[in-house]
Amino acid sequence: MQQRVDCEFEAEVLAAVLQSRWPHRADPQLQKHAETCTICADVAAVAGLIDNAREQSRASATLPDSGRVWWLAQVKARREATKSAGRPITATQLIAGAAAVGFSGAVFGATCQWFQEALAGFSLSAALTEHTALASGMAAVIILVPAAAWLALRRD
Amino acid sequence: MFREMTFTDVNRAAVDAQADFVMDEDTFRAFYDRNARGVWAYLARVSGDRQTADDLLQETFYRFLRAAADHDSEEHRRNSLYRIATNLARDARRRTLTRPHADVAGHDIETIANRSDGDETSADFDRAMSRLKPRERAMLWLAYAEGASHREIAQVMGLRPASLKLLLFRARRRLATLLGRSETRNAAAR
């Protein structure tokens, strides 16, 4: 059999409790019902205590003034807006910086005579075989630095 | 595509952030005065900590102001406010799971033993509430301190209305049992 979780007299008991009529000034029939009904007995037991606790808690609260809460909300909204507006600037600067480094490298490579001569005698496969650890380290840095920058930006 | 932002853009963004608030200052202040005390009491009871309630109150109203919600009534606004408070209290609890439950009625735990009969009932109640799950405390508080309907409680807590009756019944049963136990213990002690 399914357990009963509400009672048709629950609201009446609750009203009697909240109006301080429970138990002595409540309808005797309602009192009698609550003696045998677990749901109404529970409502009678907890509702009054919760209502008293509510009064105590509300009375003991020391709240900031509404003007101060409004002002702090404005300050926070401005700070967040400034922060989010500043985020694209940082990303733009990162991209611009990377592009500038790339462009400078390309110009240097295209115009510098000795660099081109040095490059002509250079074998990538031979260098990689000879300096495997160094090459792996450099590759890791090339991958990890942008990843770290992205993570730091995302956290902001 | 990214665009370089000037200081004027940044300032404009800051002003726009204020314009994003769901109400103007006068309306907000009246709304705050009507609801802050109730929200604080709710936060204090659910989080079990006055300091947490103090901290979360400002954040609750801030998030309410920034929420892009279209409220059609005072009741709707109030439900939104309590939903935000519920979520914030839950997040705060996750962050500080190891902190002990504190007394929220403005008394130090150490002084509970010295209370008079009325205070003793209050202490028993605080103790019993502290032994409930935060969700049970929230449901009971909304139902019996705030007078919220089952539909409103379900909305605030993100529960299905159909399951709320059963959950509320269980929470009430548990609290009544805990209170019954403490009453028996006090009677035996006297």
Which pair of tokens denotes residue B69? 């919600």
What distance in Å separates the CA atoms of residue B140 and residue A45, rounded to the nearest whole number?
Answer: 12
Which pair of tokens denotes residue A110? 């295209």
Task: Give the list of residues 6+ apart from residue A78 with CB closer than 8 angstroms, or none.
Answer: B14, B17, B18
Burial state string for A15-39 with b = 16 or more CB within 10 A and e = fewer than 16: ebbeeeebeeebeeebbebbeebeb
What distance in Å separates the CA atoms of residue B88 and residue A105, rounded to the nearest whole number?
Answer: 51
Q: What is the pLDDT of residue B190?
A: 44
Q: What is the pLDDT of residue A121?
A: 73
> Mapping DSSP to helix (H, G, I), strand (E, B) and coil, where does residue A1 land?
coil
Question: Does the predicted TM-score (pTM) go above 0.80?
Answer: no
| pLDDT at position B116 over 70 | no
Q: Is B32 on the interface with A (CB under 8 A)?
A: yes
CA distance A11 to chain B (A): 11
Q: What is the pLDDT of residue B118?
A: 60
Q: What is the pLDDT of residue B33?
A: 96
Residues A104-149 have pLDDT tens digits of 888 887 888 787 777 777 777 777 777 888 888 888 888 888 888 7
CB-CB contact of B57 with B51 (8 Å):
no
CB-CB contact of A76 with B62 (8 Å):
yes
CB-CB contact of B21 with B67 (8 Å):
no
Q: What is the pLDDT of residue B12?
A: 56
Mean pLDDT of B54-64: 95
Q: Is A95 on the interface with B (CB under 8 A)?
A: yes
CB-CB contact of B102 with B77 (8 Å):
no
Residues A40-77 have pLDDT tens digits of 999 999 999 999 999 999 898 999 999 999 999 999 99
pLDDT > 70 in chain B, percent:
73
C-alpha dihedral sign at B104, B107, B110, B112: negative
| pLDDT at position A22 over 60 | yes
Residues B119-172 have pLDDT tens digits of 677 888 999 999 999 999 999 999 999 999 999 999 999 999 889 999 999 999
CA distance A110 to chain B (A): 29
Q: What is the pLDDT of residue B105?
A: 47
> Mapping DSSP to helix (H, G, I), strand (E, B) and coil, where does residue B70 land?
coil
Q: What is the pLDDT of residue B22?
A: 80
What distance in Å separates the CA atoms of residue B16 and residue B10, rounded to the nearest whole number?
Answer: 10
pLDDT band with cut points at 50, 70 and 90 for residue B189 = very low
What distance in Å separates the CA atoms of residue B23 and residue B32, rounded to the nearest whole number?
Answer: 11
Q: What is the pLDDT of residue B170?
A: 95
Amino acid of residue B107: H
DSSP state of B111: G
For an interface test with A, give the residue of B20, B54, B57, B62 to mutate (most A CBs within 10 A). Answer: B62
CB-CB contact of A109 with A115 (8 Å):
yes
Q: What is the pLDDT of residue A125?
A: 78
Task: Give the list of residues 6+ apart from residue A51 with CB closer than 8 angstroms, or none.
Answer: A17, A18, B144, B145
CA atoms within a 13 Å half-sphere pointing along the CA-CB vector of A32:
3
- With CA atoms as reference, the chain A residue closest to B45 would be A57
Mean pLDDT of B93-110: 55
| pLDDT at position B7 over 90 | no
Which pair of tokens denotes residue A2? 């399914």
Look at the block and give the residue holding tokens 């009672």: A7
Mean pLDDT of chain B: 80
What distance in Å separates the CA atoms of residue B111 and residue B129, rounded to the nearest whole number?
Answer: 18
- With CA atoms as reference, the chain A residue closest to B5 would be A89
Which pair of tokens denotes residue A132? 């495997």
Contact B169 A39 (CB under 8 A): yes
